Amino acid sequence: MAKRKEKNENSYHFLSTTSDNYNQVQGWPEWKQSIVISSTTASTGRFIETKSNQKSEK
């Protein structure tokens, strides 16, 4: 007795899903490598107190 061939629905869906994933991979942005750079500078200053010394003559 000959076996009857049946359509395999699961295989069909599997191929479709694979195709969708492939398109998503193609749409990913290009990888860019960035580096973090810190540049510093120094700041100084000096404070003074202004004093006055007054004498009154009598």
The residue ranges that bind another protein (CB under 8 A) are 32-50
Q: What's the min distance (Å) between Cβ of 33 and another protein?
A: 7
Spacing of C-alpha 34 from chain mean position: 9
Nearer to another protein, 22 or 31 (CB): 31
Nearer to another protein, 15 or 48 (CB): 48
Q: What's the min distance (Å) between Cβ of 56 and another protein?
A: 24
Q: Which among 20, 22, 2, 18 is positioned nearest to 10, based on CA atoms?
A: 18
